Structure 1
Amino acid sequence: MIIEKVLNNNVLLTKNEKGKEMIVMGRGISFNKSIGDPVDEHKIDKVFMLHEHEFTAKLAELLNNIPLSHLEIVNDIVKHANEKLGTELSDNIYLSLTDHITFAIERANKGILLKNAMLFEIKRFYKREFSIGLDALKIIEDTLGIKLGEDEAGFITLHIVNARMDSTEMTSTLKMTEMVHSILNIVTYHYGIVLDESTLSYSRFITHLQYFSMRVLHKEVHETGEDFLYSQIKKTYVKAFECVSKINDFLEKTYDVSLSKDEYVYLTIHIQRVTERNSME
């Protein structure tokens, strides 16, 4: 392998024997090296062989503008996640999560705290991924001495969830999109309204539906059996609960799955919020 571009002392751009671009990381692998020099393969710690040239270029550009320690942190997080989840996360996470952590650290240094509006749901529905998010905070603190809060653990969790979703087949993604579209149609016809896509409530609702549809397709059922909350929601938000019952009927007929009481509660609350917001406009 020959060096195509030196990004910094520890990261370089090269190509494999098939001419595919690779970003190679290793301590001192580029030190005192120039374009055209052979790559010291004994120093290689991590190889990013990305399928799209555009994506490789974006990661290379990012690495030119951030400390190497941020990528190393993400590398440690991804390794830990792969071991804990027994899977291989999409390479896309090296770009998205490194970028996110860089800005999170910048915000923390400026005393800017960003609230995660979906933290409660993230903790509830993605327990394994959230535990990895908390471990990620420990990795960041141990490496940089910067302490981030649970809100950031929630954001990291979503990056991990997305990276798992990216690694699935395209057919699953299409099914997920179809399911979200069908549920939105059920809500629209049940209420006889057009949802306002510019609202925060709508954005939260769509995000919830995306992750919910992924769980349905993966046959992941979450149930804590909180009968009291289920009963209260059913009494309080009658129309929204009826809408969720229609969604449940659709899921049973189309995907052979039934909503858990937890999902009844969360979908009802989201539908109540998004339709309430519409009626106020």
Structure 2
Amino acid sequence: MVALADHLQMAVKRNELEPELTSNPNPLSAEVHHLYPEETRLATEILERTNNWLAEKGIPPLPPAEVVAISLHLVNAGFRTEDLAETYVMTGVFEQLFEVIDSSFGITLDRQSVNAARFITHMRYFFVRVHHDGQLNDGMSVLRNSLEISHPDSVACAERLSQILSLRLGAELSSDEQTYLALHVARLAEDRGTTAD
């Protein structure tokens, strides 16, 4: 909450001094709206209430672009970390993973689906596990063998995702993390989204 309050205070000051800069759209806008719909909803409400309070004080309102920054603060708060840099990295990685899944299956996944939300939640906790050197290691080889037979494309896609994650996070994924990744990919592929042209 302190980080969010500090952000809002600085945003008000920036908006008063350089309103032309604060009105520019945030480059992460599309990703944040797709990946964090609940945080975006709450951020929109926070911005609305903030702007109502500012109007009472005769202070110019904050622009709609602030929703993205507020959303990221809320995401960050969910991990009890004060470093927004990790949240920015995580958001970029999520979008990259979705793009790989899209291209692997020739679809455009619905980022608002239940399975997409489950995938994002799994990945958010994966980031926490990697940060604390505690990846899953439950002996899921039977599940992996089953997925290799029933969903070989999902396993292959999960291996590509694992390589990206290893490069981006500097940590090799455990076999179990790869298996859970393949399971989520299989669920996402079954949604099928919309077919890419």
The answer to whether residue 151 in structure 2 is matched with residue 237 in structure 1 is: yes
TM-score (norm: length of structure 2): 0.55
1:181/1:214 CA distance change after superposition, 3 Å: farther
Structure 1 counterpart of 2:89, one-letter code = K
Rate the CA distance shift 1:219–1:179 in 2: closer, same or farther, 3 A.
Answer: farther
Letter in 2 for 1:214: V
- Structure scoring higher RCO (CA < 8 A, sep ≥ 6) equals 2
Matched position secondary structure for 1:220 = coil
The residue type equivalent to 2:144 in the other structure is: Y
**Quick one: which of 263, 272, 277 aligns to 2:177?**
263
Cα RMSD of the aligned pairs, angstroms, is 3.2
Q: 2:5 aligns with which of 48, 52, 55?
A: 52
Which structure has the highest strand share of the two?
1
Q: Percent identity?
A: 26
Q: Deviations over 1:75-128 (max 9, x none)?
A: xxxxxxxxxxxxxxxxxxxxx9xxxxxxxxxxxxxxxxxxxxxxxxxxxxxxxx
**Could you state the TM-score of these two structures normalised by the residue count of structure 1?**
0.40
Deviations 1:46-67 (A, max 9, x none): xx989729x9xxxxxxxxxxxx
Equivalent of 1:174, from 73, 85, 88? 88
Return closer, same or farther for 1:246/1:221 CA change in 2, 3 Å cut-off: same
SS at structure 2 position matched to 1:52: helix
Could you list the per-position Cα deviations for residues 135-182 of structure 1 after superposition, in whole angstroms to 9, with x for gaps in the alignment? xxxxxxxxxxxxxxxxxxxxxxxxxx9756142311111121122122
Q: d(CA) in 1 for partners of 2:182 and 2:87?
A: 24
Task: Give the counterpart letter for 2:87 in structure 1.
Answer: T
CA contact (8 A) 1:240 1:271 kept: yes
Alignment gaps of 5+ in structure 2: 9-41, 43-74
Contact 2:130 2:171 in 1 (8 A): yes
Partner in structure 2 of residue 184 of structure 1 = 98
1:252 aligns with 2:166: yes
Structure 1 distance, partners of 2:108, 2:3, is 41
Q: CA deviation at 1:226?
A: 2.7
Give 3-state SS (helix, strand or coil) of 1:216's partner: helix
Residue in structure 2 matching 1:215, options 125, 129, 133: 129
More helix, by proportion: 2
Match of 2:188 in 1: 274
